Amino acid sequence: MALLIYLLIVSPYLKAMEVMDRKIVRKSEELKEVLALQQDYFQLKEKTKMLETMVRSTPGFSLLSFLENLATQNKIKNQIAYMKPVTAASSERYRESSVEMKIENITLKQLVDYLYGIEQSRESIRVKRLNIVKKKETDLLDVTLQASTFELLVSTLGG
């Protein structure tokens, strides 16, 4: 009789408890993974929000006009050999505007002042490339630079 009770009641109960214990351990591990992913998600969401804040530009902002006006302010407009928009990669969320320009026969101070003006802009402008060639037997420089900015087309954050 005891054997029958063991085989019909106790043994299945112990096996069911063992299965449940394994499920609890597995589900606990899955919960830890979900919580870690949730933490990663919130960190990425915060970084995205910060980047979108940095990327936002003034409506109607033109990088080409800005660089030209800055050159006029720094009295180097006459030394600009060329200034041309560059086709840049875009996505459904962002559009990159780039301008390549060559400035000839400028002093180091003029270059530094111009780059400082770009850096201090309210817009998020970055210098992607900068090539400086010193003229022989003078202190003048020929500079080729590419500046770019990003425009946010669609916010990735719902709120």
What are the tens digits of pLDDT across the range 119-159?
988 888 889 999 999 988 888 999 999 998 887 776 555 54
Predicted pLDDT at 28: 95
Task: Report yes or no on 44 lying in a domain.
Answer: yes
Span 52-67, pLDDT tens digits: 766 666 667 888 999 9
Q: What is the pTM of this model?
A: 0.64
Number of domains in the chain: 2
If asked whether residues 47 and 67 sit together in one domain, one would say no
Contact (Cβ atoms closer than 8 angstroms) between residue 129 and residue 145: yes
Helix, strand, or coil (residue 158): coil
95 and 151 in contact (C-beta within 8 Å)?
A: yes
Domain span including residue 81? 63-152
Assigned domain for 102 exists: yes
HSE, CB side, 13 Å, CA atoms: give it for residue 48: 14
SS3 state at 134: strand
Residues 117 and 142 occupy one common structural domain: yes
Q: Is 80 helix (H, G, I), strand (E, B) or coil?
A: strand
Within-domain flag for 71 = yes
CA 8 to CA 78: how far, in whole Å?
98
Residue 107 belongs to a domain:
yes
For residues 97 and 128, the answer to whether their CB atoms sit within 8 Å is: no
